[in-house]
């Protein structure tokens, strides 16, 4: 079973910074829907990797064995000539390698897994703006690795696979999910509703917004909490309050080196799994369904 962790090499922030001021004055606009159907290889392992830049990602789990993409492509430019260039220069690339399906924006001014390059040598100046909004239906038991940066949220519903979700300027919303989770965002909230509590170590980070997680009543976990200006709230019965933990981090000159992790938390039930919650300015709410 293979899992490909793909980091989209972002092309220098000149191209990434499409400001509201610039987009306000774009007179020409084009939209089209890109559709693609793919199937996983005959394997129990199923991985979907979507690395977006501008736009949201919405995933819905189904009983089907196919992966069905609908991607709304939006190009805006100041003139018709620039608009036509934008329509031609950027699209979505779909790939399959073994048990993994990939989807990501592809253009001559981007670095990505199919176009490894020196980002500093690319011509990042483009005279159009672009956005891709994904709606994808997947088999329920699919592991997801999803990321986006601007102009969109990540929404996952009815998926039983493992979740690795990353956003920068948007929220992460999970409903009817049931597996190990890593959900990190900076300027957005995180919400989750589990049909089965995550079976192994999971983490949730939201820098400037709240984290709200709805667990099943039989929750048994150590919930570690770290925040500068936020608080932790729960309606579960708290069995124990946890303080900073001492953990072995590495060995130096043959000797074990230990560090104290400066995070507090609570134990709910027997504390059989571990979940980490981290914010800077937001609160964490752990709720019983």
Q: Is residue 140 part of a domain?
A: yes
Residues 6+ apart with CB under 8 A from 152: 52, 54, 55, 56, 57, 131, 133, 170
Q: Is residue 255 part of a domain?
A: no
Q: What percent of the chain has pLDDT over 90?
A: 71
pLDDT given for residue 242 in this prediction: 82
Q: Tens of pLDDT along 178-220?
A: 999 999 999 999 999 999 999 999 999 999 999 999 999 999 9
What is the domain count for the chain? 1
Confidence band (pLDDT; 50, 70, 90) for 260?
very low
Q: Is the pLDDT of residue 264 over 50?
A: yes
Q: 224 near 275, Cβ under 8 Å?
A: yes
Q: Is residue 284 part of a domain?
A: no
pLDDT given for residue 6 in this prediction: 38
> d(Cα 154, Cα 147) in Å, to the nearest integer?
8
Tell me what the mean pLDDT of segment 93-119 comes to: 84
Q: Is the pLDDT of residue 15 over 80?
A: no
pLDDT given for residue 126 in this prediction: 82
Q: Is residue 49 part of a domain?
A: yes
3-state secondary structure of 254: coil
Pairwise pLDDT comparison (256 vs 5), residue with the higher score: 256
Q: What's the domain range around 162? A: 13-170
Confidence band (pLDDT; 50, 70, 90) for 120?
low
Q: Tens of pLDDT along 42-96?
A: 778 899 999 999 999 999 999 999 999 999 999 999 999 999 999 999 999 999 9
**φ/ψ (deg, to 5) at 110:** -115, 145
pLDDT given for residue 11 in this prediction: 37
Q: Is the pLDDT of residue 1 over 90?
A: no
What is the helix (H) or strand (E) element at residue 32, kind and residue range? Answer: strand 28-39
Average predicted confidence (pLDDT) for the chain: 86
Q: What is the pTM of this model?
A: 0.85
pLDDT given for residue 239 in this prediction: 86
Q: Is residue 240 part of a domain?
A: no
pLDDT given for residue 14 in this prediction: 38
pLDDT given for residue 9 in this prediction: 41
Q: Is the pLDDT of residue 117 over 80?
A: no
Q: Is residue 161 part of a domain?
A: yes
Pairwise pLDDT comparison (157 vs 42), residue with the higher score: 157
Phi-psi region of 87 (alpha: psi -120 to 50; beta: other; left: phi over 0): alpha
Q: Is residue 136 part of a domain?
A: yes
Q: Is residue 73 part of a domain?
A: yes
> d(Cα 154, Cα 83) in Å, to the nearest integer?
27
Q: Is the pLDDT of residue 19 over 80?
A: no
pLDDT given for residue 63 in this prediction: 95
pLDDT given for residue 22 in this prediction: 53
Q: Is the pLDDT of residue 40 over 80?
A: yes
Tell me what the mean pLDDT of segment 108-130 comes to: 73
pLDDT given for residue 249 in this prediction: 58
Q: What share of the chain is helix, strand, coil (3-state, %, to 5)?
A: 10, 55, 40
């Amino acid at each position: 079973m293979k899992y490909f962790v793909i980091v989209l090499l972002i092309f220098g922030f000149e191209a990434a910074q499409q400001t509201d001021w610039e987009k306000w004055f774009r007179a020409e606009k084009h939209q089209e829907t890109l559709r693609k159907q793919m199937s996983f290889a005959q394997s129990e392992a199923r991985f979907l990797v979507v690395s977006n830049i501008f736009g949201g990602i919405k995933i819905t789990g189904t009983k089907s064995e196919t992966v069905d993409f609908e991607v709304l492509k939006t190009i805006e430019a100041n003139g018709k000539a620039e608009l036509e260039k934008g329509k031609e220069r950027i699209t979505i690339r779909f790939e399959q390698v073994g048990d993994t399906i990939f989807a990501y924006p592809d253009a001559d001014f981007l670095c990505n897994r199919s176009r490894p390059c020196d980002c500093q040598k690319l011509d990042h100046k483009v005279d159009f703006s672009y956005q891709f909004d994904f709606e994808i239906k997947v088999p329920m038991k699919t592991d997801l690795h999803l990321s986006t940066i601007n102009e969109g949220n990540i929404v996952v519903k009815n998926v039983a696979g493992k979740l690795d979700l990353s956003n920068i300027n948007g929220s992460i919303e999970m409903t009817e999910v049931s597996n190990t989770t890593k959900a990190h965002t900076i300027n957005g909230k995180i919400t989750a509703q589990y049909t089965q509590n995550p079976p192994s170590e999971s983490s949730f980070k939201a820098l400037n917004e709240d984290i709200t997680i709805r667990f099943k009543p039989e929750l048994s976990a150590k919930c570690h909490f770290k925040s500068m200006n936020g608080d932790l709230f729960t309606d579960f019965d708290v069995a124990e309050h946890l303080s900073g933990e001492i953990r072995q981090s590495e060995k130096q000159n043959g000797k074990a080196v230990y560090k104290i992790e400066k995070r507090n938390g609570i134990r709910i039930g027997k504390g059989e799994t571990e979940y980490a919650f981290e914010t800077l300015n937001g609160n964490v709410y752990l709720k019983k369904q």
